[in-house]
Amino acid sequence: MSPADLIELENRFGANNYQPLDVVLVRGEGIWVWDVAGQRYLDCLSAYSALNQGHCHPRILKALTEQARKLTLVSRAFRNDQLGLFYKEICELTRSHSVLPMNSGAEAVESAIKAVRKWGYEVKKVPDGQAEIIVCANNFHGRTLTIVGFSTEEQYRRGYAPFTPGFKIIPFGDASALAKAITPNTVAFLVEPIQGEGGIIIPPEGYLKKVRQICDENNVMLVLDEIQTGLGRTGKLFAEEHDGIESDLTIIGKALSGGFYPVSAVLSNQEVLGVFKPGDHGSTFGGNPLACAVARAALQVIVDENLVDNAAAMGSYFLDRLRQIKSPHIKEVRGRGLLIGIELLPEAGGARRFCESLKDKGLLCKETHTHILRIAPPLIIQKADIDWALERLEDVLKK
């Protein structure tokens, strides 16, 4: 079938909730993907940071296929030989006390919301039904009803009311707004260390440190959504380390499986996840042996291949070189590690047309909002590949 025919099938039978670039991919290896016609592209999106380890990493592939031949799913009605090892390895690596395994990112966010509410009632003694959670404007935490209910993106909410109550929205990057918004019924503050979908928005220096202090003073749980920023993306294992703090709950997903399979988790100090008793929460696929085997390998690759340090080194090189590009369209280049945003001027005519031109030159990336190009290649990328990408970016952005 021709690419045009395959695209036509997608358009005819699929729900129309995406508008992808018209490139039909058939194969991936490392930082590269190939389309139906054999054309090669450098993947600078990494499935929104789910592919930190690169496409089809051989070690994760091996873990997946070996486990898939043995045992894939038992449900949590029974135990399996991968779950305990996954728990131990992820807790040791992230210095967490306990972990709740789920599947998608949004599901892990929902799970964290349930946990902090229950903690609020049982430990903090908030009156029943009164728990409040503070979140930030311009957030992205996923697409379930509860989550889009506290989004400030009009399109994410339109047509989906009524929403779950109990959320308060404050500006991102403003610690004093958090201090003001807290009441005796506040159980948690949920925030991304860097707003990824929001446009690679980096908060002011020391923001998380202040936030940590305010949460401590008020017995409020600090919940960091590191689904996109975590597992090496920003040049630290977790973005919280840039501020030298530790969250109470950290939500991860995406790269936890290196792109093979949906695996997410809530990492916690004992106190918060300790509120769950048998039957309080669950998931048929959460913690299944295939997911655990894949996640164990995906984490091991991050460690063994030094992906965190490589993200730091390659990220600062990429950022420096991007900042040297003289373009009439660029307003600002910003980023941390290999999470980089190129904000275009309003006159540039939107980021989409640049993504289209880059695609024609063999580089795949995706606009976020209308005017920001996100550059987030797999963390295995090397300097020569970045130079290759820079040539194309410079070409397109100078025009």
The residues annotated with a catalytic role in the active site are 140, 225, 254
Among 48, 172, 207, 276, binds ligand PLP (CB under 6 A): 48
| Nearest of 264, 249, 279, 281 to residue 114 by alpha carbon | 281
Closest contact distance (angstroms) between CB of 253 and ligand PLP is 5
Q: How far apart (Å, rounded) are the C-alpha atoms in residues 254 and 299?
A: 12
Q: How far apart (Å, rounded) are the C-alpha atoms in residues 308 and 235?
A: 5
Beta bridge partners of 249: 223, 268
Q: End-to-end CA distance of the chain, in Å? A: 35
Q: How far apart (Å, rounded) are the C-alpha atoms in residues 320 and 40?
A: 26
HSE-up (13 A, CA, CB side) for residue 137: 7
Residue 253 within binding range of ligand PLP, rule CB under 6 A: yes
Q: How far apart (Å, rounded) are the C-alpha atoms in residues 332 and 28?
A: 31
Residue 189 within binding range of ligand PLP, rule CB under 6 A: no
Residue 104 within binding range of ligand PLP, rule CB under 6 A: yes
Closest contact distance (angstroms) between CB of 394 and ligand PLP is 28
Stretch that binds ligand PLP, among 100-108, 299-307, 369-377, 380-388 (CB under 6 A): 100-108
Site of tokens 């946990």? 115
Closest contact distance (angstroms) between CB of 179 and ligand PLP is 24
Closest contact distance (angstroms) between CB of 264 and ligand PLP is 6
Contact 75, 52 (CB under 8 A): no
Among 41, 87, 140, 261, binds ligand PLP (CB under 6 A): 140
HSE-up (13 A, CA, CB side) for residue 64: 16
Stretch that binds ligand PLP, among 4-12, 139-147, 206-214, 271-279 (CB under 6 A): 139-147
Residue 376 within binding range of ligand PLP, rule CB under 6 A: no
**Phi/psi class of residue 201: alpha, beta or left (left: φ > 0; alpha: ψ in -120 to 50)?**
beta
Residue 228 within binding range of ligand PLP, rule CB under 6 A: yes
Residue number, 327 or 368, with CB nearest to ligand PLP: 368
Which residue, judged by CB position, is nearest to ligand PLP in the bound state? 105
Among 30, 54, 120, 196, binds ligand PLP (CB under 6 A): 196
Residue number, 138 or 327, with CB nearest to ligand PLP: 138
Q: Supply 21's token pair.
A: 């670039």
Q: What residues line the site for ligand PLP (CB under 6 A)?
A: 48, 104-106, 109, 140-142, 192, 196-197, 225, 227-228, 253
